[in-house]
Amino acid sequence: MALAIKVLVVGLAGYLLIRSNAGTIGLFGILLGALATLVGGWRTGLAVSVGCFIVAGAGLTLSATAWAAVLFVGIVAALCAYASRVGLHSAWLPVVTLAALAATAPVVTAPIWGHAALVGLGSLAGVLVCEIPPAMPESTSRVMLTATGALIYAAAVGVSCLVATWFVVAFRIPHGYWLIAALAACAQPSPSRAEDKALQRQLGTVVGGLVGLSLTAVIHDRNALLTAAIVLALLGVGSLWRGYAFTIGFLAAAIVVLAGLSSTAGDVAGIRIGLNILGGIIVILVSASLAPLLARINQRVPLVLEPAAAPGGPDTAG
């Protein structure tokens, strides 16, 4: 019964968000709220929900001004990465994806903050999914840095996302927010963790993209495509605790299926795969270059790896 209620909540929220003018950015809210709750509990989930509302509204508002959109994404990335100070960067960094999606989206006329409210409500739905009894356990390990280490890590992530956003805006890269998404989602203070995250993301993106293309090749009815996207999104949320590659695979398939509504599934799949690979490479290079510096900073207070509450829990998602 509890599982049925969870599925019903996510299904209804996903259906409403997909059919709204907010488009696919509303779906990110569900994943972000669920992820934040898994990482830091329901209080963190609520904080991220409020953050989703603010970031979506501000990003859509600033999307009309190129330099403001670029600066906005960089600042959001830096602030979210600084959560590594208390081991919560896994909960906040995916919010950067939402910021990039909103800031680089075509200019939205109205109601901007109405769209943002739908994103925030989607995030709250994700929190509820985790907290409806029996509640999902917090099953992630945390990486906590010293204050100085967190500042350097935040600066590196912020600058990387700022430059990537400038590149996307300056060259008008279609669906370029996936480059920022890969940077934010795979960013880790440890090179080994960053490499593992990047590889899992590429695997999920490629396999999920192919599954999505297969579905759009055989399904042509709009309502059937919407239903398939909702089911895939549900599977993505439900697999948060199973592994990052699973979550990304289901979400990648859902995104490609949604793109099939406008006959752009092939383009979206190809662009997303290419930009994710590029983002993963950048993350690995930046993380490897920072490793010696972060290690020296954290010599007196080493990286604290808290054991996962349950075996096989995810590191991050987004």
The residues pairing with 263 across neighbouring beta strands, listed in sequence order, are: none
Question: For residue 109, what pLDDT is reported?
Answer: 63
| Calpha distance 38→73 (Å, rounded) | 25
**Average of per-residue pLDDT across 153-174:** 92
pLDDT level of residue 7 (50, 70, 90 thresholds): low
Say which range, 18-32, 81-95, 111-125, 215-229, has the weakest mean pLDDT: 18-32
Q: What is the DSSP string of 214-235?
A: HHHHH---HHHHHHHHHHHHHH
Which residue did the predictor score with more confidence, 311 or 41? Answer: 41
Say which range, 10-19, 130-139, 270-279, has the weakest mean pLDDT: 10-19
pLDDT level of residue 138 (50, 70, 90 thresholds): low
**Average of per-residue pLDDT across 11-35:** 65
Residues 146, 152, 157, 159: what is their CA dihedral angle, to the nearest 10 degrees? 160
pLDDT level of residue 308 (50, 70, 90 thresholds): very low
For 243-277, the pLDDT digits (tens) are: 888 988 998 898 888 788 777 777 878 888 888 88
Question: For residue 46, what pLDDT is reported?
Answer: 95
Question: For residue 161, what pLDDT is reported?
Answer: 94
Identify the burial level of 263 via C-beta atoms within 10 angstroms of its C-beta, where 0-12 means exposed, 13-18 middle and 19 or more buried. exposed
Which residue did the predictor score with more confidence, 204 or 263? Answer: 204
| Calpha distance 37→194 (Å, rounded) | 22
Question: For residue 111, what pLDDT is reported?
Answer: 82
pLDDT level of residue 119 (50, 70, 90 thresholds): confident
SS3 132: coil
Asked whether 55 and 98 are in contact (CB, 8 A), the reply is yes
Distance of CA 67 to the CA centre of its chain: 23
Instruction: Please report, rounded to a whole number, the percentage of residues in the chain having pLDDT higher than 70.
Output: 80
Compute φ and ψ for 313, nearest 5 degrees. Answer: -70, 160
Q: What is the mean pLDDT of the chain?
A: 81
